[in-house]
Each structure stands twice: as structure tokens, then as C-alpha cells.
A and B are shown apart, each in its own frame.
Chain A
Amino acid sequence: MTLLVVHSRLGKHRFEVAKGLSVREALDITALRVRAACGGTGACGACVIHLVGGEVSAPTVAEYMKLGSDERAAGARLACQVRLKGDTEIRLDRPAPPSPWKSIPLENLKPLTHGLPELRAHTLGVAIDLGTTQIRVSLLDRRSGRRIATRRGPNPQGVFGADILNRLEAARANPAHAAELAKLVRTAILRAVRDILARDIGEVKAMLAEIGQVFIVGNTAMLALLGGRGADTLLDPANWQGAIDCRPHDVTPWRAKGALPCAELVMPDPVAGFVGSDLVADLLATGLTEGPAGALLLDIGTNTEIALWDGATLHVTSVAGGPAFEGSGIRHGMAAEPGAIDSVCSVENHYRWRTIGGGAPQGFCGSGLVDAIALLLADGRLKPSGRFASPPGPDGYPLDPNHPNTAITGPDIDAFQRAKAATAAAMSQLLIQAGMTWRELRRLCVCGAFGRTLHLGHAQAIGLLPAVHPGLIELHAEAALAGCEQALLSPGGVQCFDALTAKTKTINLSLLPGYEDRYIEHLRLRPIALTPTTGQRP
């Protein structure tokens, strides 16, 4: 990692970035983006910055063509051409106008392996992972199998409530709200696509017509709200076990002028009322059913979805993992964004934190919270019950007394305990349904909120993940988006989804009497017992 310091009208920003990235790539994942109108080839010349000092690559031909000698003498460079070799300081006089859309860090994306060379027209495709809090978008050239760019940004339906139920309730109560909720997401997706076209191709209108397919996965509620129907159906548990058709009846707004006139809208059916197509995308991206029996997949988020492959059947379920893992409902919790503490370690009785992007800590994201709780527990400051050894008061226990945002409160621990207990109990219940035990696990794929920064030892010590051999655990970032991309680039397309969905057996945990016992068993902060003791009583 190397340090990039950016001076702009907004002040001085410090970013920790991977060596070898261009300045544009480094800034595209932040809120401080350079102007751009090409795919980073140096063709548009819009991304001018001034080098103040540091270790960077030499000017390229493109820079000689776009920048005059006097400009170059004054330190002007093209952000897409300058690659960071060491700590660097730049001036950004004309940043791009503020936008909620940022690029997804390259290291989180899976490489694409093939394209669809026989495709002749409308060769662009858009993959979308429609989440409750975040929307992720990837624009692909389907013919060559090349990823043009990605974006992630907030789901604007948040104005109707962070919680899924609030949004469903709003849609159910008022058709105008249902239409508004659908429109909010559609508009957000279109804005993200336009942002990519403008910044990474340099041509919006003509390129919109080149988009031949939009492939959307998400949790069932998000798909129903996007389709503008189904909120009623979803709020009634009688409908939760089966597939629910969420596709919009009317695709005219998608096809409108300035939207996606030539795009086919593909939305594979969610598995059930509480298991979305995002889980199927995860399965596709991880190849869960292609590997050995005893493969578990966790997609951790506000609604945690779980699948267990036993060699013949995919047992699937979901639990209210609780927003705790996504930082919501936690006093100083936040999404895995710049400023979030994503890891904590203990050095000589002091806690040392690390933030995404390297700046001052603004709060904890899920992986940082796991570390903090595991360390507090190991040091005896926190007890397995979830109580602090000595109550820290309403402001919580600050890991770093210099930063009040590093404090963890009693209610934070409580929310976390309930989320991890639900997750662990659901995994254990799926194993029971399949007639298997923890010891038979051969693969555990962890997707979703924790990304790739989850500390396995910590997650195991507090009972979030089973204490199986760490070599069996895989951390996947952006798996749902990857699965969606994979479907866009496969001749079968939506059939890949249908084939996996056909292997699923949906389990509604709230209808299983033993689940609650398991949930309560897993509330304590302690490792999961690999040999089941449930049912045994003294």
C-alpha cells in the first residue's frame, strides 16, 4: 500500500491505495473523483491533475498529446496515465461534480473468462446486484467478455426506511408509493449506467442503445419493489415458501427514450419469498454445487441467506442476520466505506485499528466489529454473556480513547450477538435438515457484508463461524455481482439460474420448532461446539 495525498478545494485528503494503480483508479472508488470521458486511455484529456511530489510513472504518449509543454512543466498530468509507485501528493483543481456512484475496488472483482463472440448487435450488458442498502452495477462488453466499469451507490429507497418491511408496507398501503419506490431504483440504475457511459466510454446516448440486456438479481423484496408489485404477496407468510414472480408488467419506462431502448430486462425469479436471486448468483459465482458435498454458503447482510449443498440438494434459508453486520443499528457503525474501521488488532494491550482508505476512523463496518468484539472478549473486558466486565456507561468502551467513534456500547454487543446467533443457528439447522454435522463441512463460502477482510480466527472465537479448518473457509467479495456477470456472459443466461433454483429446497426456520433453541444456544460469545450438544441436558 502507498499513500496518496490529494489537495482540492474541499481540503486535504489522504488515501491508502495499492501500488501500481493509476491516480484515476485510486480516486474512482472514493467520493473525490477526477473528471473523465474515456475509459482511462488518455483519449479525452479531462482528468488533469497536478503532481506536487512523489514517486510516479513517467509521462505517456497520451499525455504528450493532450498536455502542452508549459502545462507539463507546471506539473500537469493525466490521472488515468499516472501510476503510483510510492507515496504521492497531487493537486486536483477541478474534481468531477459530486456523485453517489463510486467504482468497486478492482481487487474485489472476479476475472471474466469468456465472452459471447457470436453476438452481433447490442453487445453491451449490465449486471445489477440490487441490495437493500447498496446497488452494484457492472457494464460489460458481452461479445469480448470485457468489463468496462463498475459502480456502487446507495439504494435511494432508503428514504422510505432502511428496513425492508417499512418499504413493503409503504408500497402496500399506497399505489403511488409503490410506483415511486419502483421509479427510485430504476432511475438510480439508469444514473449509474449513464455515469459509466459518460466517464468510461465518453458517449452516453448512442451507447445506451447498444445495451442489449440488463440482468438484475436481488433479494425478493427488492425485486418486488422494482417490479412495482408483490408487496402484498410478500407481506403474507402464506406466500413465502414458493417462487414469486416479481417482473414488472410494464417495461415501457425502461425502454423509454434516454433510458435503455434496446435492452431486454432479465430478472430471474427469486427462490422464495425470503430467499432472493442474489443467493443463486452467489451459488453460480462460487460454483458451490460443482464441488464436494458439505459445502455451505453464507451471504451475510441485513437478510442473511444461506445455502447448504449436500451433493444432491441445495438446502436454502434466510435469517434476519440483522443490519448489525452492515454497521446499521450500531452506535458507531457504518458500511464498508472509506473511514470505516475494517480491522482491529491488539498490540501490547492497546487496540490498533485500520480504516478503509487510511483516514481517521468514522465508525466500524462488520469486519471491524467482529475484531473489536473478539479482542474485548479475549482480554476479559467483555464476558461471554455479552456484558462488559465493568460497565462502560452509555457512551460505550472506546478502543482508542483519542477517537470517540471507536467506542462500542452494550446495545451494540446485544445487536451483534443476536445477528451472529441467528446466523450460526441457521447454519446448524440446515446441517440438521440435510442430516449432516459441522465435521462434514468441506467448504464454507462467506459472501456479502464482510467482504474479504473478515478475520477468521476472531469470527470463530465469538461463534459467528464454526471452528473448522481455516483452509475450508473462502471469503468472497461481490459474489452476487460476479454471478450476475457470469450469467450475462453465458449463452444459457437465465437458464443457469433456473437450473440451480431447481436444486433448491427452501426451509422456513420460523416454522421449525428446534430453531429457537438453537438460536438461544448460540447467543453466547463463544466458539461453536462442533459436536452438537443440543438436546442434551444435565
Chain B
Amino acid sequence: MLDRFIKAYNEAVFETDKEAAFTAVNTALAEGIPPEDIVFKIVIPAVEEMMSNITKDPDANLAQHFMTAQIAAEVTEKMLEKFEHPPEIIGRVVIGTAHGDLHSLGKRIVMGCLKALMVEATDLGVNVPAEKFVDEAIARDAQVIAMSAMMVHTATGEDGACKVRQILKERGLEQRFKLIVGGAPYRYDTELYQAVGADSWAPDGVNAARAIINLIQQVKHRDSAQDI
């Protein structure tokens, strides 16, 4: 029975038809599918498939990414409200655009995918000072700081990723948080992320979610290794 809903949901997502996606999910609920199954067996596999498709399709359509990430986030949010027990969170990330940068839509895709993949993402908004990235990461007990910068001067500027790295270094926090960057300038120069002191980067919003999960696992793995 689940297969029928998976098919209907995937078709709706492929057509970026939010109304149809919700119809599929609501029908599944009405027919007794638990919200947990909807998230873990329908929504998450759909997000994962989108991730692998994007890597295969170089002409991936950004508008479709926005819409599918939005559907995934909204459906997940709605289902989470209905969970009997809150789901286990994979990890936590604080995300925002670099100081001086108001281009917020890239981070939007990342957040949508993260939400659907059970990562708790705290949106720090746009034009975020470097100090705030670090302070919030501490306050939220995050594993990853994610910074989006769409312009060369905000990607490479003194108040951007470089400064976050400097603060992490000064405050001895480099073991605790991983720093990931994304945005057009890093795509043009694929080594730029290292120059600004980031641990990783991603070429698009969907892959950024995957890269962030990798970093979360690195931090957690190291933590658990230290515990032993």
C-alpha cells in the first residue's frame, strides 16, 4: 500500500506540485499510514533521490530545487507535529548569510533539505556578523556552522568566513565546530573555501545538506572517539 503513496508523492515532487504532494500525504494519513513512516519511508527517500539526481544532472533547475526543498520541509514539519515521540535529531547546524550579504535563497534550499533529513537547522538570517555565527553555534550546541555568500567581497571579506575561522582559533573551538561555506564565488574557484578557512563547501543547496551531514558525523565521531 505504501508503494502507491510513494509513487503519488514522488510524482507530485517531480512536478513540484505542493498541493498534490500534500494530497498524497494526507490520503496516506487518512488510510492509516503513521506519520513516522511518511517521513522516513516517503519524504526522506525522495530527498535523497533528489540529491543523487542533482549530481547526475548538470543543468539541474534551481527553481525546481527551491520548490522541492520547500515541499520536503513543509511536509516534514507537518508530519513532525503528529509524531508520537519526537524523532532523533542527527545533529545541529547554525546557518546564515555572511556579513554584507542579503542573498538568502541558497540557504533556503539547504534548510529545506536539512529539515527533511532530521537535522536541526537554526536560521540566523541574512547579513550575520562573524561573532554571531560562533556565539549561536555555542548556544545551540551545534556541530556545524554554515555560511552562504553570493558575492566575491562577502565570500572573501574580512568579516566573513575568515573571521569565523579566526574566532574559532582564538577561542579554542576548532575541534568543536566545523565550518562549511557555499555560494557562487566558491563554485567559480573551487579552492577558495580553503583560502577562507572553511572545512568544506558544496556547489549547490541540495549537496550542501549532504556535506553538512558528513561534517556532523565527523564531529560526532570524533566526540565519541574522545569519550572512549
Contacts and interface: CB of A to CB of B under 8 A. Distances in A.
Interface of A: 165, 169, 172, 235-237, 383-387, 394, 409-411, 413-414, 417-418, 421, 508, 510-511, 516-517, 519-520, 523-524, 537-538
B200 interface: no
A418 B63 contact: yes
A524 B16 contact: yes
B117 interface: no
A537 B21 CA distance: 12
Contact of A510 (B23, B67, B102): B102
A411 B59 CA distance: 6
Contact of A165 (B17, B63, B78, B151): B151
Contact of B67 (A169, A409, A508, A523): A523
B14 interface: yes
A538 B64 CA distance: 21
Given A385-B14, A516-B104, A537 B22 contact: yes
A387 B68 CA distance: 13
Interface in B1-56: 14-17, 19, 22-23, 26
Contacts of B26: 538
Contact of A411 (B17, B61, B151, B153): B61
A236 B154 CA distance: 10
Contacts of A172: 153
Contacts, number: 80
B100 A519 contact: no
Interface string B125-148: 011000000000000000000000
> Which of A409, A411, A523 is packed against the most chain B CB atoms within 10 Å?
A523
By DSSP majority rule, is chain A's interface helix, strand, loop, or mixed? helix
A523 B105 CA distance: 13
Interface in B64-90: 64, 66-67, 70, 74, 78
Contact of B61 (A387, A508, A510, A538): A387
A156 B15 CA distance: 42
A357 B93 CA distance: 56
Interface residues of B, number: 30
B75 to A, nearest CB: 10
Contacts of B15: 383-385, 387
3 interchain residue pairs of minimum CB distance: A510-B102, A417-B63, A385-B16
A194 to B, nearest CB: 37
A137 to B, nearest CB: 31
B173 interface: no
Contact of B23 (A387, A411, A516, A538): A538
Contacts of A508: 102
Given A169-B153, A235-B153, A237-B100, A520 B67 contact: yes
A515 B104 CA distance: 11
22 contacts: A169-B151, A235-B100, A235-B151, A384-B16, A386-B63, A409-B59, A411-B59, A411-B61, A417-B61, A510-B102, A516-B104, A517-B70, A519-B105, A520-B66, A520-B67, A520-B70, A520-B108, A523-B66, A524-B16, A537-B74, A538-B19, A538-B23
A235 B102 CA distance: 11
Contacts of B63: 386, 413-414, 417-418, 421, 523
A237 B127 contact: yes
Contacts of B74: 537
Given A524-B67, A537-B78, 16 more contacts: A172-B153, A235-B151, A237-B101, A384-B16, A385-B16, A385-B17, A386-B63, A387-B14, A387-B15, A413-B63, A418-B63, A421-B63, A520-B66, A523-B16, A524-B16, A524-B17
